[in-house]
Amino acid sequence: MQSEQLPFYIGRYHATARLGSGGMGVVYLATDERLNRQVAIKKLLRNPNSSNADERIRREALLLAQLNHSNIVQLYDVVDTDNGIALVMEYVDGCSLDRWQRERSPDLIQKLQLIKQICSGLTRAHSAGIIHRDLKAENILVDNSGTIKITDFGIAKNWQEDSGLTREQHVAGSWGAMSPEQAQGKPLDNRSDLFSLGVLAYRLLCGQSPFGDNSSPYVVADRIVKQPHVPPARLAPELPPQLCQLLDLLLAKKPEQRPINAAAVATELEALLSQLRGSNTSFTRTHSLTATISADTFYQHPMEKPSLWRRLQIATGIVVGGALGAAALFAGSSMNWLPAAEKRVQNQYIAVLEVEDNHEDESISREQRLLLNNVHNALKQGLSNREGLSLISFAESHKLHGQPIAAQAKSLNADLLLVPTLDCIRHSCELSIELLDSKSLAVIGNRSTRLALDEGLESRARTLHQLNNLLPDFPSSGADQALHISAEDYQRYLEIYERRADELRQPELLDEMDALQQTANNFAPLYELYAHIVIDRDLNSRAAEAVERLQSFLQRAPASLENTPQLLISKLRLAIHANDPGRAEALLARLELILPDKASYYQLSAMYQDQRGHYDQALQEINKALQLRTSYGYLIQKALAETRGGDMTSANQTLREAIALNSDHIAAVSLLASNQLDLGETGETVRLLTEAGVDSIGPLDLYNLCLAYYIEKQYGEARGCFDRVNQLSPKDAEAYLYQAEIAYELKEHKAALNFARRALRVSRDRDDWEGLLMQARAYAELGQPEKAVENLIKIRRDAPDDLYTNYLRAQVYITTGDLLSAKAHMRKTLEHGISPIWYYTPRFAKICTIPSFDDLRQQYPGLCGGKGKKKKEGNSQLALNGTQE
């Protein structure tokens, strides 16, 4: 359809010149006569072959309306008249990027500044969930001041939405700029735009397309999907090696091998700009004079490609195996690629052992401990995004601290070990970092540097520098290594990190982090530490404040951290803890896209399924992680899923596998002791936990020890044990309720009532299912059966139908005198695998003489102290009651 005769009006806008045209319409220069300013108007052309053109331009308007940013063309108005729809947008007095490059001779710094601006605009769009899908030089405008504006969001979409607006073309976008996954019609996320950014930046910096300028779009698309790009150093040898490496990462075939987001790319560019500004090096040519080949020549000599590609693999740590399918199907204007199977590429796993100090613990000063934590954090961040490496969770390696290196290596099952050591004298320390082969423990490499005790950020920078020198074959993938925190605030963070395990001071630490967030809200590790402390406190003390407090803290995080693993994992932990499955599943979907190590994703997914009570799914997920890496930590998580799912035989076998990897670690002992407790082998529980040492076991182990003493009728030991639980977790209502049980059995009725009142007082403000269950038990103890049963009714939909919940329900009903309901819940727990010894208490003594319980006593003779049959293995974890992470 022809455009209208100039000049003409669209609403109050007076169109006077034609600026350009595209597939959807024409862009005119116009004047807004009300505001007396120039605007650009995109006028939709009526296309009889497109049934959804109106909807698409409306969608473009809706997307643009969300993006108010200096590097994105701004939408002013939408005019809908009888003659069609028009978008009124900011007029950019300049030209497209390709024309800007042709008409000028920009130097390297100017080019990098423009690319950084494009990253800034993309960061804003991606933070709103919007991907451009047609990012190319023609859609980048440069005004007379050198500011870029991203335009033409005609085929943009929110990647989290399922939209059919572009399906009539099958593949939307420009063939020369689209990513491999876009060319194949696969699902897209923000990293598709990063590939297009790589093509655009490559052309700007090297003067040619990375895939040549063949006239056939099918040839170019075939190269994008199946073949490596021309190494940028071949076309522009003068480019800095770091810049060539960044281009290689942007043009990686697989999205997961590209930088995590545009903000990370911008950070790398800023680092390069800082180096260039501080040097005398210049790079002013648009086309290299020393290039050895042209892009198309590269593709015309296939014999050269294998050796070139191998060198590229070594430089970037990327290994591409197998070839994509050669067949392409053509249907009208669409093209669908049929990829063959790609060879799976598995990163090497690296674990960092806890930083050691060569002095005895007693001689380590506070400043030295802070430096230990500084090195710990620097190594964690420096290893989190390296090509070819997957970092094993520090939480997993930290649990093995103090064990021989050989034992830690066996438990972690890593390929590489990083062993840092500090040797301190007065005001400085010598940091030595050794890289070991995990199987042979042979030293592959080592680096050392001197660190000052009072230079937090400087010591961190030197640690990262030595790490980079130690791992030249595993370069950083462009992740932001900047801290975004002042030296003073970083010191405050290290001091909080040092005290993170101090359970008695955790409320104070959380308050300090709330204050620190006001001046260091861009510091991603702060959110990870906050989530760890607040949830750990909630689980140990049952304070029931984690959800509200963590939610408030995370809501204050800036948009720049939206897609960082630290923030997403913290949000996932909150969603799991708050029992918000929809939110948790959405976060898992995002983490699946950005986590470099799939085993870590499967572990998080298993944790989520476990907390939901979906033990079969949890087992499937953790088995996927174990297929990638058999580790002690993963085996413990598998045993927990098997135990909770009712297969204690398999759980015990899995625990034996874990103990074979590490016989000294407490986790396997802890779970074994818990299983023995549920099986009624309380003496064995006491033996296992007391041999491990009361001071070394965790809060849940201490709780299990208290319960074992209680079942064994060792009331003195049980009381002392529960007193310690009360000191560590003053808001734990259940500990008070067992104190009440003990007092009741000792005929101390007044004391029993006092303990029940305390339990009610600390749980009264809770409205979650476990809090309501604690209240029900307290009401029953206080002789208020109506309130007790009312609470049980409230939780019937939310509380899991597991051993723990049914045992507590049985306690409530037997106390209130509802014997029929008590019997029903007792039967459930016995069928799930609880030992009859749990009912051999004065509270349940009445069942031994009531005829209606005859059938239950015959089936389970141990109920009333009889010998009974050997207890069959079954569902367990009464003591863990869903709080294990």
Half-sphere exposure of 301 (CA within 13 A, CB side): 11
Does 485 reside within a domain?
Answer: no
Q: Report which listed range, 4-13, 457-466, 659-668, is most confident.
A: 4-13
Q: Residue 347 gets which letter from DSSP?
A: P
Return the ∠ at Cα 601 (arms to 599 and 602), rounded to 5°: 65
Backbone φ and ψ for 508, nearest 5 degrees, come out as -65, -40
Q: What is the pLDDT of residue 323?
A: 24
Say if residue 333 is exposed, middle or buried (CB neighbours under 10 Å; 0-12, 13-18, 19+).
Answer: exposed
Question: Is the distance from CB of 759 to CB of 774 less than 8 angstroms?
Answer: yes
Say if residue 391 is in the same domain as residue 289. no
Say if residue 52 is in the same domain as residue 184. no
Say if residue 83 is in the same domain as residue 113. no
Boundary (domain end) residue, out of 288, 305, 337 = 337
Does 655 reside within a domain?
Answer: no
Q: How confident is the model at residue 689 (pLDDT cuts 50, 70, 90)?
A: confident
Say if residue 326 is in the same domain as residue 190. yes
Q: Could you tell me the CATH number of the domain that includes residue 17?
A: 3.30.200.20
Q: How confident is the model at residue 515 (pLDDT cuts 50, 70, 90)?
A: very high
Does 696 reside within a domain?
Answer: no
Q: How far apart are CA 447 and CA 649, in angstroms?
A: 48
Q: How far apart are CA 629 and CA 638, in angstroms?
A: 13
> Over the stretch 36-45, which tens digit does the pLDDT of each residue have?
999 999 887 6
Q: Could you tell me the CATH number of the domain that includes residue 357?
A: 3.40.50.10070
Say if residue 231 is in the same domain as residue 281. yes
Say if residue 182 is in the same domain as residue 309. yes
Say if residue 462 is in the same domain as residue 370. yes
Does 647 reside within a domain?
Answer: no
Q: Could you tell me the CATH number of the domain that includes residue 830?
A: 1.25.40
Does 607 reside within a domain?
Answer: no
Question: Is the distance from CB of 209 to CB of 178 less than 8 angstroms?
Answer: no
Boundary (domain end) residue, out of 68, 91, 114 = 91
> Over the stretch 406-425, which tens digit does the pLDDT of each residue have?
888 888 888 899 988 888 87
> Of the given ranges (307-321, 352-366, 630-644, 809-823), which has the lowest mean pLDDT?
307-321
Does 790 reside within a domain?
Answer: yes
Say if residue 261 is in the same domain as residue 388. no
Say if residue 197 is in the same domain as residue 117. yes
Query: From the CA atom positions of the chain, what is the Rg in Å?
Result: 32
> Over the stretch 18-69, which tens digit does the pLDDT of each residue have?
988 765 678 999 999 899 999 999 887 665 445 566 676 777 788 788 888 8
Q: What is the pLDDT of residue 401?
A: 77
> Over the stretch 365-406, which tens digit does the pLDDT of each residue have?
778 888 888 888 888 878 877 888 888 887 787 778 778 888
Q: Could you tell me the CATH number of the domain that includes residue 251?
A: 1.10.510.10
Does 184 reside within a domain?
Answer: yes
Q: What is the pLDDT of residue 23?
A: 56
> How many domains does the chain contain in total?
5
Say if residue 307 is in the same domain as residue 353. no
Say if residue 81 is in the same domain as residue 118. no
The H-assigned helical ranges of 128-168 are: none
Does 652 reside within a domain?
Answer: no
Q: Report which listed range, 110-119, 554-563, 609-618, is most confident.
A: 110-119
Return the ∠ at Cα 347 (arms to 344 and 349), rounded to 5°: 140
Instruction: Name the one residue in this structure whose structure tokens are 């809908």.
Output: 80
| Domain carrying residue 522 | 491-596
794 annotated to a ligand binding site: no
Say if residue 377 is in the same domain as residue 452. yes
Q: What is the pLDDT of residue 460?
A: 82
Boundary (domain end) residue, out of 43, 64, 91 = 91
